Structures are given as structure tokens and as C-alpha cells.
Amino acid sequence: MANTFLIKRPFITEKTVALSVQGKYVFLVANNANKSEIKKVVEAQYKVHVLQVHVINARPKERRRGKVIGVRAGFKKAIVTLKKGEKLDILSQ
């Protein structure tokens, strides 16, 4: 079975909620995850059929608080497109 720790959690924002109407769901994933692994884990964990997986790497950004400069960590997210008629109930979790 695929590594279930590749998917960290659903990424829920106003924009991702609007995408869920189209059958697209967004997840934060591990930095070493690839598309085929993400597809296997989502299909196994949620019992759905995945058509496409798009992966986005968000790079780290500098943040400033007065004189102190820090770095907000980067992350990787995956946009998963499901077969028509299938949906996930991740908003209630």
C-alpha cells in the first residue's frame, strides 16, 4: 500500500472551496511526494477515482516584524481532479 503520510491535510480556503464544486480538491502534501504516489494515496484513503493531479511548489517567503527578518516555510500542494459525479466530504473534518 502507498505511504499514507504523503498527504498532510486538506488545504481549505475560499478559492479551494469554489474548486470543489468542479470536482477539484486541494491537499498539502509532503515535499518528496510525486503525482503517481499522491493519486494512489487519495484513491486508497478516500475510495474515489482520480483523473488528474497537479502539483504546485510554493516557495519560502521572507516576513518582517520590525527589525527582525524571518522566513515563512515553503510547502507543496496538490490539486486532485476526481471522476465526474464523485466528491469528498473534507469540509466537515
Report the relative pairing of strands 61-65 and 50-58 from DSSP bridges: unpaired
Q: Is residue 39 part of a domain?
A: yes
What confidence tier does 2 reach under pLDDT thresholds 50, 70, 90? low
Q: Is residue 91 part of a domain?
A: no
Q: Is residue 75 part of a domain?
A: yes
Answer whether residue 1 shows pLDDT above 80: no
Answer whether residue 18 shows pLDDT above 80: yes
pTM assigned to the model = 0.86
Q: What is the CATH number of the domain that holds 55?
A: 3.30.70.330
Answer whether residue 26 shows pLDDT above 60: yes
- Mean pLDDT, range 18-23, rounded to an integer: 92
Q: Is residue 87 part of a domain?
A: no
Q: Is residue 92 part of a domain?
A: no
Q: Is residue 10 part of a domain?
A: yes
The number of domains in the chain is: 1
What confidence tier does 92 reach under pLDDT thresholds 50, 70, 90? low
Q: Could you tell me the residue range of the domain that residue 54 belongs to?
A: 4-82
